[in-house]
Amino acid sequence: MASVSTGAAHPLSTGASAPPERRRSNWVPYALLLPGLLWLTVFFVVPMVTLFSQSLQEGSVDEGYTFTGNIGIYAEALQGYFPQLLRSIGYAASATVLALLLGYPLAYFMALRAGRWKNILLVLVIAPFFTSFLIRTLAWQTILSDSSIVTETARAIGLTDLLQAVGLTGNDNLMASKFAVICGLTYNFLPFMILPLYSSLERLDPRLVEAAGDLYASPAQGFRYVTWPLSLPGVVAGTLLTFIPAAGDFINSKLLGNTQTVMIGQVIDAQFLRVLNYPLAAALSFVLLVLILLLVSAYVRKAGTEELV
């Protein structure tokens, strides 16, 4: 299953170098690409066009829609749901930072210190990922419920007071709060952070860190100037794989949050499937897509990793 880990670990690295020239005739690659790319074009690219078109239509589900080019819907969407949009980005960013802080030590330990325990740890990281995440999120309702051991302990050590003071919870409970939603998001996407980190740390040559030590670098300097830069591809891949799904998620905010923690995904879901306001929902969905693409491309450019597309 080491192969699963490497497979899941590099969803973003598409490899910069092209393979060497082959003798085969040049229609072969196109024949191989055709069905897959056709599928992605028809069921991924075309829907983006219909989504945009839907946002500029007016009408109702029963009477049908006509295209009117109603750009005003975007002003309406932004005006009405700016807080939810901002909140989604904020929660996703917090969860990403937390996942990096939690995931890095575990990935580092697995890759460089675990020895013969490495494979067992890898199994324990991957296995929960293969079990229904809805069921696991429901388990957090039990873990964080008002009379659970965790909540009682948090009360006893004054953690609930602290969380309330900084505004992450609204009372002396843990459930149905910002805190619970961010905890849930962090938990949910942690494997997506750990696996890319692990695979880039695993390829790190420990002799480089030793060399830094031989040249009188302190362990902290060795980490800062050798380990961390070499693990950057994993950090970039991991943060993207955590941030993107977290920003659009509504499972955690709905199951673990309250009416003050509504995220944009929840609004899109409700507008599409309950309110049936397709144009507004499509506009919100499109805004989310554009926002994420802008953030991701700015981030990738800044991180400057050539391994990414």
Partner 1 sequence: MSWIRRHLLAFAALAVLFYMLIPNVVVAIFSFNNPKGRYNYQWTEFSTEAWQNPCGTPGICESLGLSLRIGIVASLVATVLGTMVAFALGRHRFRGRAGTNLLIFMPMATPEVVMGSSLLTLFVMMGLPSGGGAILIAHIMFCLSFVVVAVKARVASLDPRLEEAAADLGANPVQTFMRVTLPLAAPGIAAGALLAFSLSFDDYIITNFNASPSSITFPMYVWGASTRGTPVQINVIGTIMFLIALLVVVTGQVLSNRRQKAA
Query: Which tokens is 221 given?
Result: 């300097």
Which H helix or E strand runs over 201? helix 178-202
Residue 95 binds partner 1 (CB under 8 A): no
Residue 270 binds partner 1 (CB under 8 A): no
Which H helix or E strand runs over 245? helix 228-248
Give 122 or 163: the residue with its C-beta nearer to partner 1: 122
Residue 288 binds partner 1 (CB under 8 A): yes
Tell me the window of 68-76, 77-85, 224-232, 271-279 that interacts with partner 1 (CB under 8 A). 271-279
Give 144 or 168: the residue with its C-beta nearer to partner 1: 144
Least Å distance, CB 296 to partner 1, is 6
User: Which residues, numbered 180-209, are part of the site for partner 1 (CB under 8 A)?
Assistant: 187, 190-191
Q: What is the rounded distance in angstroms from the CA atom of residue 138 to the CA atom of residue 146? A: 14
Least Å distance, CB 54 to partner 1, is 4
User: Which residues, numbered 110-139, are part of the site for partner 1 (CB under 8 A)?
Assistant: 110, 113-114, 119, 121-139
Q: What is the rounded distance in angstroms from the CA atom of residue 277 to the CA atom of residue 182? A: 29
Interface pattern 239-268 for partner 1 (x via CB under 8 A): -xx--xx-xxxxx---x--------xx--x
Least Å distance, CB 255 to partner 1, is 6
User: Which residues, numbered 43-72, are part of the site for partner 1 (CB under 8 A)?
Assistant: 43-48, 50-51, 53-54
Which H helix or E strand runs over 45? none
Gyration radius of the chain over CA positions: 23
Contact predicate 242/97, CB 8 Å? no
Q: What is the rounded distance in angstroms from the CA atom of residue 121 to the CA atom of residue 128? A: 12
Contact predicate 254/266, CB 8 Å? yes
Give 165 or 191: the residue with its C-beta nearer to partner 1: 191
Residue 238 binds partner 1 (CB under 8 A): no
Give 166 or 293: the residue with its C-beta nearer to partner 1: 293
Q: What is the rounded distance in angstroms from the CA atom of residue 209 to the CA atom of residue 219? A: 9
Out of 78, 86, 165, 293, name the contact with partner 1 by CB under 8 A.
Answer: 293
Query: Which tokens is 47 given?
Result: 């829907």
Size, binding site for partner 1 by CB under 8 A: 105
Give the number of other CB atoms < 10 A from CB of residue 126. Answer: 16
